[in-house]
Amino acid sequence: MNREIILASSSPRRVELLKQIGLPFRVFCCEVDETPPPGLNPGQLVELLAERKAAGIAGKVDRGIVLGADTVVVCQGQLLGKPLDAEDAARMLGKLQGGAHEVYTGVALVEAESGRRSVTHEKTVVYFRPLGENEIRRYAATGEPLDKAGAYAVQGLAAVFIHRLEGCYTNVVGLPLARLAVMLKEFGYEVL
């Protein structure tokens, strides 16, 4: 019998992805210091934050495998987090339009009983088609981009902006499922 999976995230997208593959889990999250030390590259950053989230919850439960994740968007070397408002979302989308950017998601598993850990990240390159200013403003006004790194949802209305992906689609949504399945297997947990 598989052990309990505990998702250390309140992200509705991560919840939906885990439900999509039929993984039984519960959500348990707490505030974690997301201030990174200086000098980390995007892969190191998302791994550190994912591990902080998973370890924070693993220290509060007796058993189970805790899953932490963190996603950032990088455009021309600049990290794009969640926009402050529609204006900030429009600014970010203006940077992304007509070019390529990277999406990094760190994934960490921490076994509560032993403290055993596995931490890695996935990178996907996303290509946006050229966008007009009105198109950007209309999308920003929908509210969809406001709680998303990089100010867009690949699984939402912004799907019409993306003409190509190189890498894992679910990574762009917020959790690379193929990578997660391999990591869980290392802990003796079979997804299928």
Domains, the chain, ordered by start = 5-186 (3.90.950.10)
Q: Which residue has the tokens 């924070």?
A: 56
- Note the pLDDT tens digit of each residue in 90-126: 999 999 999 999 999 999 999 999 999 999 999 999 9
80-106 b/e with 16+ CB inside 10 Å = b?
beebeebebbbbbbebbbeeebbbbbb
- Asked about 147 being catalytic, the answer comes back as no
Mode of pairing for the β-strands spanning 162-166 and 117-128: antiparallel
Asked if 13 and 171 count as a contact pair (C-beta separation under 8 A), the reply is: no
Q: 155-187, pLDDT tens digit by residue? A: 999 999 999 999 999 999 999 999 999 999 999
Instruction: Report the predicted TM-score, pTM, of the whole model to 2 decimal places.
Output: 0.94
Task: Give me the catalytic one of 62, 70, 85, 147.
Answer: 70
Helix, strand or coil for residue 187?
coil
Q: Both tokens of residue 178?
A: 């193929």
